[in-house]
Structure 1
Amino acid sequence: MIPNGYLFFEDETFLDSTVAKMNALRKSGQFCDVRLQVCGHELMAHRAVLACCSPYLFEIFNSDIEPHGMSHVTFEDLDPEAVEILLNYAYTAQLKADKELVKAVYSAAKKLKMERVKQICGDYLLSKIDSLSAISFRNFASCMGDGRVLTKIDAYIQEHLLEVSEQEDFLKLPRLKLEVMIEDNLSLPSNGKLYSKVLNWVQRCLWENGDKLDKLMEEVQMLYYSADHRLLDCSHIMEDHGVFSAEEDHNQFVQKNPPRENSSVPRLQSTGSSDSTSPSNTPKSCRREWKYIASEKTTNNTYLCLAVLDGVLCVIFLHSRSSPQGSPSATPCLMKSLSFEVPRESEEHPLTSMHYARSGLGTVALHGRLIAAGGYNREECLRTVECYDPKDDCWTFTAPMRTPRARFQMAVLMGQLYVMGGSNGQSDELSAGETYDPLTDTWAQVPELRTNRCNAGVCALDNTLLVVGGSDPCGQKGLKNCDSFDPVTKTWKNCAPLNIRRHQAAVCELGGYLYAIGGAESWNCLNTVERYNPANNTWTLISPMNVARRGAGVGVYEGKLFVVGGFDGSHALRCVEVYDPARNDWRMLGSMTVARSNAGVAVLGNRICAVGGFDGNNFLNTLEVYRPETDAWSDCVVDVGPSEDVCSSP
């Protein structure tokens, strides 16, 4: 072909032919300028090819003092066969490895920073996971520091814990044996909350009392579950008030310095081998991973749990008894609970509350969990971020935001969390935003908004982030301004303005449209609702709500908008209403158990969750859920067995 007078020819066979010839040259050692020494084996290759595939080798070659000479790179910790497989991949784009070599290929790819190969190997291992290999695969993924693979392996273990517990790898894990005494009129909390208390007790033993994990595992530990729902050492039960003061100090310690599952400090997840990096030899300043993974109630009074304690993968056996007499002589016997065959009588337990009371917080659902960030109480704006796992009914901390902020909203865009604007408690509005990467547990700065604002709506739409309305710089009236952020180019642009000035509006996406619901013009609350169409960049007023409100939360479930709580200008609200876009109408639903303005709302499974807020008198840290099938809100979870999910399908 000769388009526009120029000769143009594309040889479809050239690339394959060239690649094959270059690989043949590599294997014969011709024109090679790099020599890899791998555990006594010598592998020849071409520096330019390897530099294109491996960022690790690129850095080495780029720093060579004599770039035109022969490069020598030595690896003492890689499998020569695995490196040969990666060399073949670098030349042919074909990854061929026997199943016995996949882990070695993964390790070599990690060393050479070949991320695509790591992902392929990780996916292969996940496809082969079963109860026999689960612990082995988890130990490997932990050593590799692969959070993505670890999360999926843990999900598998949660579903198959009893089968996994029967395998040899599981039986070899170090184990912590606990005997818990409880009063006759008390019962232990649900699994997630129970093991949150166990992890806190172990942390106190290690961090405050100076105990060592391997010492705790040498014998059965006697504990006491008090009437005020605390887990205490039996040795302290007879002390007057000293134990309670110590426990109160511990609670403050946990709140001020919460252990994070994804810490940035070095951590170990091993099977408990004793070496220089064991927990007993780790300084207190180097706190490693603490994680509840899965648990089962195996008999009426015996529990089995798999957890990571200070970086060590461990089994926890817990036996409860109401009588303080006697002591177990051995680990409780593992058996399948009778409750799997015979229905038990349901027991209600309060849903676990956040560590901090929060109003004006940012809330989203991400990967089946509820994220609650920032907010304010009577004292200050917060940086802390908490994550609620409905399967365990427990809250854990993730990395805090870079800036304390409240009166903002949060959205999920391309797997990342975005917060924009808000107030830091010192200046009226913020222009800065942040984004959170759940894979690395880190926050990063986002280019600033064109206008400082708080109380703005934030929502993801068509792979962009929209910021809608908010308060003016004086905080006296709402704004019509709408801005769109492109996460790829990291640039802002203007969108069509709202029809009505709004701050503290509830904002969400449904069916490819963006909805701005209620809010206030100045301090006059609105019941009006408008919808944004990105196709023609226009806002259109739709049917108004039954109740005017600002500071409401909103969630989307089964193609409808659920608007929750808020403030009507005089009172915090309990009432809830739902919008059906097919009918363009609103109807009232069952009210919440408490009034909540500026609360967080998110949808987990088939449950709508409302958390935090202000009830008119108090700042709240409580959580409640709405069940559409019963049109009722509840602040309790019905404990009907170890597989019950708090906010997901029964």
Structure 2
Amino acid sequence: MEQNCNHGNASEYTLYEPERSEDVMSALNKMRKKGHLTDVTIEARGEVFPCHRAVLACSSEYFKAMFSCNLKESSKGVVTMNDIDPQILHLLIDYAYTSSISINTVNAQTLLEISNRLQFANITQACCKFLQDHLDPTNCLGIWQLASTHSCNDLARSSFRYCLARFQEVCQLDEFFQLPANQLEEYLSHDALVVGCEEIVYHALLAWILHNDNRKCYLEKLLLRTVRPLYLSTNFLLRQLESFIIKQSLQCYDQLHMAITQQKLYVQSQTYIDRPKPRLSTMSDVMVIVGGSGSNHSEERDVRYYNPASETWRSLSSLPKGMSGYSVAVLENDIYVTGGKQERAVSSCILRYSSSTDTWSSLPDMRSPRQFHGSVVCDGMLYVVGGENAGKLQRDVERFDPKTNIWETVTQLACAVSSPAVVTHKGKLYIIGGYTSDLLSYPCIQCYDVKTNKWKVTAAVQINSRHFPAVVIGNLIYILDCYGQRGIQVYDPDRDVCLTPVSMKSERHLFAAVALNNKIYVAGGMQNFLPLDTIQVFDPLTAKWKNAGRMPRALRAHSCGVTIKKYLGPPFNG
């Protein structure tokens, strides 16, 4: 036994034994097991547990309140808890004396329930962590229900996310068929339910209904609230109208028939349908080109999206006004257009395109007018960087909070540049190249950490030109430097090194580029001063290019390419 002795002066001696508290608890535990000096007995289903009130009170707020307040248990020698499993109670009492408990797949859920009730906070937290680490399709619904019932909010959220992500497995298992109607509704109605198509949700609901004859009364309510018939194929809907279970319910029949009518109206008129929203998992990534410059240098207002699966284009609502030199970014699947030149004046305006309603709206202006700038979204905020106004470069970096609709200036560029390529990666902004006040190409990358508010400038990449886009795929930044054998510079920001460059398929300038399905799509631009309408795609895994169709018209589309998620299934089909 080690002893710390403090000889502060000749008449004082301090003995300190840090291990003594452990020895005391060990002695108390031995006394408990022999029934020595115990002052309360916990009884559960015929089993008795002699204990020390003070020890239980130190581990459990429940017992502390019981033995401290004017409750009858505070003076009784026996506390009866017949609604608690004696084995679980034994584990909790052992923990109170030893600070040790074994959690496993057999006892974790019951242990969480009882420890939460008896307010053994550390055990409840440990059980939540254990259950979160052991989620699988066979138990996730039960854990979600348990966590929700006992207000274990973090576990409830994580287990529900797991249930949503693994729906197509979960809906085949017993736990799914045991769900009560209210939780089934919450589950099946969620936007984030991961399914390949809406038919899967419809089949899952009917399977739950038919699992028990007493559930047929729920069909009308749950079909209305969980399934989105507009996104079922027309042929599927027609087959369901002939099914016996649907024919039994006039309301269900009418709902499915109405969906067919709405689909026909859309096909005939191309009227935009925004309710109900499609499931997020049924939406596909598409490339959107916002405006750009036509063959006669006109300011185009068209907004179109490209479906890489079908290599086809469709139109979205046009820009409210003609403009040039603006920047585009995507925040929560909406497109933000900032600044640019309108009617010969540099603007500070911001326009937002709502992907759910196909409409444009105006938002509060930026603090400074600017054109030829970059914009990017990081941690739910929209940042604008660089650019110019009246021939003067803009050094301020502004940030827009969509929750408050407020702009603020957060920092300044290490070097003011116009027309930089801007991307974000792991909470940092990368402002790549651009040109300086003396119209020279800026040869470096300026990196801004939004959390630390610090800048780092790197010259790891050889940047000798300007007016080029950049995209992020995985952990690499691809800088599309126009043409030639070094057409794509590949930068690893984690290691701050430039990897082997990649050749462009053909020369082009002032083009749009996006990362889509882990590939790089380039569209439009110009070659030998003539606008292009070609689309090419580069696969980083194979390092090969291929042609991918054509644009509706030739377009110089520098800085006008973004990706959003769009529903492409029935009745829209592309």
User: What TM-score does the superposition give when structure 2 sets the normalisation length?
Assistant: 0.50
Q: If each structure's helix is expressed as a fraction of its own residues, which one has the higher value? A: 2
User: What TM-score does the superposition give when structure 1 sets the normalisation length?
Assistant: 0.45
User: Which protein shows a greater Rg?
Assistant: 2
